Amino acid sequence: MTKPDLRDALIVELQGQLEAMADQFREYRTNSERLLAFEIENARLSGENEVLARVVPIGEHLAAVADGMEALETKVRSLPRKQQTDVEDALALLQSQMVSLSQKVQMSLDGGPTRPLLSEVLEDWTEVRNGFGIDPKKINTDRNRILDFIEFAGDKPANKYSYYDIQRFANLLVRVPGNYSKIPEIKGKPRQDAADYNDRLPADQRLPTLSAKSIEDNYLSPLRVLFRDVAAEHSFRSPLSDVEIRISADATPSVERQPFAVPELNLWFAHAAKEARADMKWLPLLGTITGARIAELIFLQGKDIYRMIGDDAAEYWVLDLRTDIATEDGGTSKRKVKNKPSRRLIAIHEVFETVGFIEYVQSRKADEWIFPAAFYYGKNRVADPADAASKRMNRMLQDVGIHKRQEFVFHSTRHTAKDLMRMARVDERTHDLQTGHALTTVSKRYGSKTLVPQELEVLRSLPLPDGLDLSPYTLSASSR
């Protein structure tokens, strides 16, 4: 009787094991692919870290199965050549499928397919934002601040940045001098160089660093918007989703704007009333009583200030920021304002008739600038009239002796105007409409979005603070 060949028995056993394993793997692979697709889609839509975390075990399990397949392949290679071929072909197919699935899992854990470089998507983002009606200066500044981040963290695919990349950038900014652009040794250099320069100075000579507000508004805010928009466009999760970037307590504390007190206003008005240039003369008084921003006042034209007649035949002078700008070629351009509430009607106090401002406005043609000199420096046209005017106003405040960097500046007049209206018990919604502040509650958003005649009357006759001396203006008006 022939003795059975033990190798044949081993081959039969291995083939049975392989077929069973192949069936299990096919079923497992099908289920895994379905689960993976479901989990990845969940992660994309919800952006939750815990969803992505559930994908990790799938990758680990697949790796373990792959290790088992390698062990089985080693056993098969010990078989006679004739029986190896079919088994090896089956193993090769299974391993190929295993590698492909494992790569998909790893790709999902790494953030998905590689997206374009951040520098590339930045240019697309900047182009798209130009269609939003945002001030071009703001768009360019945001772009430059994001380039500062790229210089620090490197130019990587947009989906390969981490939360720590941005947190480390914030940590660096806390060490950067606030006026780095005015220091010849570091002007135009990377923020890292600026921070290192300041650190090397003796302790008693170190420069004040960027404020927490400056870091948030000028650097972190643009990054948040960029990653939010780009993540939506290229289907990945923003590194700033559901996280908080912390600004160190070592940052220079933000300076709060302060309103001007009556004695300070009297000094300023006495100086301004003597100015020959219309913008230097009238902007301090206009800003203080109307609360309008300097960029809103600089771009006023003759047509923007006019008399309204109410239902009771009462007359009100108003300043209208809802109109377009008349251009030199006879056309119009859209008035640039900070936000939607800024496009508004502003009541003009009756005192402006007494001090001669209305008379001056009536001397300007409808399409002429109210303050034409603000657009020139000598014979050259200035690039940013509002910025130039702000600097002139702050120099005037320095001459008067009431300027304090960031704390007492022309923008402080908006705070002063708010205080004047509060002290006169003007309804909060009314003075928000006057100054162009957003109506922040549902109740406030109901009703007219423009000052109505009764509100114009209240603001026109607003009581001015005791001791406020406008005689320099009245004397100037009477001497003409």
Is the pTM higher than 0.85? no
**Domain for residue 182, yes or no?**
no
Residues 301 and 419 in one domain: yes
Nearest of 250, 326, 311 to residue 452 by alpha carbon: 311
Q: Among residues of the chain, what percentage have pLDDT more than 90?
A: 55
Report the pLDDT value the prediction gives residue 22, as an integer from 0 to 100.
63
pLDDT at 23: 66
Q: Is residue 245 part of a domain?
A: no
Mean of pLDDT values over 354-369: 95
Which residue reads 């209206």 in tokens? 421
Structure tokens at 45: 């839509």
Range of the domain at 123: 118-174+210-234
Residue 313: pLDDT band with limits 50, 70, 90: confident
Residues shown for the chain: 480
CATH code assigned at 299 = 1.10.443
Q: Among the three residues 109, 137, 166, which one is the final residue of a domain in this structure? A: 109
Contacts of 91 (CB under 8 A, 6+ apart): 18, 69, 72, 73, 76
163, 124: one domain: yes
| 270 and 418, same domain (yes or no) | yes
Residue 186 lies in a domain: no
Q: Is residue 256 part of a domain?
A: no
Q: What CATH number does residue 152 fall under?
A: 1.10.150
Both 288 and 378 in one domain: the answer is yes
Q: Is position 465 within any domain? A: yes
Q: Are residues 348 and 436 in the same domain?
A: yes
Answer whether residue 203 is part of any domain: no
Q: Which residue carries 């933000």 as its tokens?
A: 254
| Same domain for 364 and 230 | no
Q: How does pLDDT run across 88-146, given as a tens digit for each residue?
A: 565 566 556 555 555 554 544 455 677 899 999 999 999 999 888 788 888 999 999 99
Quick one: what percent of the chain has pLDDT higher than 70? 76
Q: Are residues 100 and 159 in the same domain?
A: no
Indicate whether 48 pLDDT > 50: no
User: Is the distance from CB of 222 to CB of 140 less than 8 angstroms?
Assistant: no
Residues 275 and 412 in one domain: yes
Residue 467: pLDDT over 50: yes
Same domain, 270 and 399: yes
Task: Indicate whether 395 pLDDT > 70.
Answer: yes
In a domain, 250, yes or no: no
Q: Are 268 and 293 contacting, i.e. CB atoms less than 8 angstroms apart?
A: no
User: To the nearest whole number, what is the mean pLDDT of the chain?
Assistant: 83
* Range in 24-28, 247-251, 263-267, 285-289 the model is least confident about: 24-28
Position 464 scores a pLDDT of 94
More confident residue, 299 or 76: 299
Would residue 229 count as lying in a domain?
yes
| Same-domain status, 388 and 284 | yes
Q: 333 with 406, same domain?
A: yes
Flag whether pLDDT at 226 surpasses 90.
yes
- Tally the domains of the chain: 3
Which of 77, 109, 141 represents a domain boundary (last residue)?
Answer: 109
Residue where one domain finishes, among candidates 59, 82, 109: 109
408 and 337 co-located in one domain? yes
Tens of pLDDT, residue by residue over 400-420, are 998 777 677 888 999 999 999
6 vs 375, residue with greater confidence = 375
